Amino acid sequence: MLPALRRARIIELLRRDGAAGLKDMSEALDVSVSTLRRDVDYLCEQGHLERTHGGAVLNGAHGTGIELEREIASELESDAKAAIGRHAAALIRSGQTVILDSGTTTAAAARAARGLRIPFTAITNDFTIAAILSENPAISVIVTGGQVRPGTSTLWGGDAIQSIQRLRVDLAFIGTHALSEEELSDTSIELAQLKRAILAAAVQTVLLADSTKIFSRTFCSFGGLSDLDHLITDSRLSAGHREGLQRSGLKFEAVHLDRVRS
């Protein structure tokens, strides 16, 4: 198991169980205690976990501007993201113009869209997503300008925002770091500015967010629930979160996961 995958699974396990000992985590992940300890130490150094006597918990004081490295984020909740991505891709119609926001869940939608047998135009600020979609010759792929966000495949900055502001598209798939009862938020001002432009450019806006992001809040707001037409999440939503979304009036679908880890 690669380090990024192990570290994603550690976070998933602690999200589910709240806390766990090193021995229990090593058995659950089928890795040695020494390997598990190095992974936990790394995640603690990055601010994602806190050590306990013999184990670890999620960092309750986790900064609202801290996010996971892309390699770990790509593996985190991968089953849910794949299911959400397939459901999102099924919304695309022949001849449409579609913005795909940068992110790991929108990348899952791109992988599903790559298999569609219909022509459409995709616009993205993520060169990983652009590479995925370009494998299908029926998809016309446009990449925004902008600067590369360090350590990621995201394009952001003034040029990226201006590229999107000039557009009027049929559909936008947008990601978020957090969704509260009132607003969408992400980890930086620059990302929030870009996402506001995407929301304004589309006739139909669809948020793609796995259930662990509902309900939470992070550093910078970029819109309200009223800016969305649709939310696609996964079926692990708690009853309380389902009720909260229903009270908000936001249309949402909680898609079934083909496979749920124990």
- The pLDDT tens digits of the residues spanning 10-60 come to 999 999 898 999 999 999 999 999 999 999 999 999 999 999 999 999 987
Task: Using alpha carbons, list the distances in angstroms from residue 25 to 34, 80, 115, 116, 182.
Answer: 11, 21, 37, 39, 36
Q: What is the CATH number of domain 3-62?
A: 1.10.10.10
* Architecture of the structural domain at 76-255: 3-Layer(aba) Sandwich (3.40)
**Distance in angstroms (rounded) separating the CA atoms of residues 38 and 26:** 11
What are the pLDDT digits (tens) for 222-242? 999 999 999 999 999 999 999
Provide the residue ranges of all domains of the chain, joining segments of one domain with +: 3-62, 76-255
Dihedral (Cα; 178, 179, 184, 190), 10-degree rounding: 0
CB 248 within 8 A of CB 224: no
Q: pTM for the full model?
A: 0.90
What are the pLDDT digits (tens) for 177-218? 999 999 999 999 999 999 999 999 999 999 999 999 999 999
Alpha helix (H) ranges present in the chain? 3-17, 22-29, 33-45, 70-75, 78-89, 104-114, 127-134, 158-165, 189-201, 239-248
pLDDT of residue 1: 80
Collapsing DSSP states into helix, strand and coil, what is residue 59?
coil
